[in-house]
Amino acid sequence: MSAVKLKYALLLLSTPLLLSSCVSTSEITPYGKDTYIISVDDLSGMASPAKLQIKAAKAASEFCAKQGKVMRIRNTNEKGNWGWTSTSSSMVFSCVDENDAENTRPNLRKEPDVIIENLH
């Protein structure tokens, strides 16, 4: 195999590794009383927003578990087009006691991007 073909083959094989390393997770930041926010970004656009959301949820759950609590999702937001632009997912969550009344099944709904008001 010539040196040029070898370099080309190594480049092709290493590209997925380079792209997969572009995912970054923010620090978990206080966002109100007992509430926090975390963001996961993929500048390459190779990770779907759903995978980023799972990564954020795992980090949030671990954070709450260290406090002896469970994670309760308050809100999520995804941006970007998988495979086309950079993608990101942010999650607002709270850490609550296992027996807390707020520790219920999440009722997640996508917020509308556009709200039409009838002014008549």
pLDDT tens per residue, range 67-89? 999 999 999 988 887 777 888 89
Q: How far is CA 118 from CA 16, 25, 114, 115, in A?
A: 49, 41, 13, 10
pLDDT of residue 8: 58
pLDDT of residue 66: 96
pLDDT at 18 over 60: no
pTM greater than the 0.95 cutoff? no
19-46 pLDDT, tens digit each: 445 888 899 999 988 899 999 999 888 8
Q: The domain at 23-96 falls in which architecture?
A: 2-Layer Sandwich (3.30)
Going from N- to C-terminal start, the domains of the chain cover 23-96
